Amino acid sequence: MKRLMLLVALVAAQPVYSDSNLPAAYWANRQLPDHRQEAQAQALMEQLRCLVCQGESIADSDAELAGDMRDLVRRRIAAGEKPNAIRGWLIQRYGTWISYRPTDEPAAWPLWLAPVALLLVGAWLIRRRIRLKAKA
């Protein structure tokens, strides 16, 4: 039984070998000393998509590349760069895909128009209701 458990543990440890042997980058899991800058960095990191775990933000992801991206974001914020400039720099490389913030590209128009369309449908339904009641 003990041997079996050991074997299972070894098999389960396989994913460890798919990561590098280097420690996380300096600013990957460390807050900036200036709390205003750290808040800016945190807000931006929550809006940047991880390239490895594609449903997570780099603030949430444990992937090494996400750690390296957090390091990049904090370094640039600490150097005085604006969050939108960093976002733009990443979008140049990876496309709007990298940012969770909706854009004004035509592909996103349905997203912006949906609330208006839903409001119109709601107004139409209410109007119909009132008219039906008035008839009755």
Partner 1 sequence: MSKAVRFAPLALLVLLVAALVWRLATPVDTNVHSKLEGRPVPVFALAPALPTKATVSSSDLATGRPRLVNIFASWCVPCVTEVRLLEQLRRKGIAIDGIAIRDRPEDLAEFLARNGDPYERIGSDPQSQVQIALGSSGVPESFIVDGKGIIRYQHIGPIEQADVPTVMATLEQAR
Return residues touching partner 1 (CB under 8 A).
17-22, 25, 51-52, 54, 64-65, 68-69, 71-72, 90-95, 97-98
State in angstroms the smallest separation of the CB of 84 from partner 1. Answer: 18
State in angstroms the smallest separation of the CB of 45 from partner 1. Answer: 14
State in angstroms the smallest separation of the CB of 54 from partner 1. Answer: 6
Helix (H, G, I), strand (E, B) or coil at 103: coil
State in angstroms the smallest separation of the CB of 127 from partner 1. Answer: 21
Query: Cβ closer to partner 1: 35 or 84?
Result: 84
Query: Cβ closer to partner 1: 88 or 102?
Result: 88
Query: Cβ closer to partner 1: 26 or 124?
Result: 26
- Cβ count within 10 A of residue 96: 15
Burial degree of 33 (CB within 10 A; 0-12, 13-18, 19+): exposed
Q: Cα separation of 36 and 27, whole Å?
A: 16
Partner residues linked to 48 by β-bridges: 99
Q: Please state whether 17 falls in left (phi above 0), alpha (psi between -120 and 50) or beta.
A: alpha
Query: Cβ closer to partner 1: 29 or 112?
Result: 29
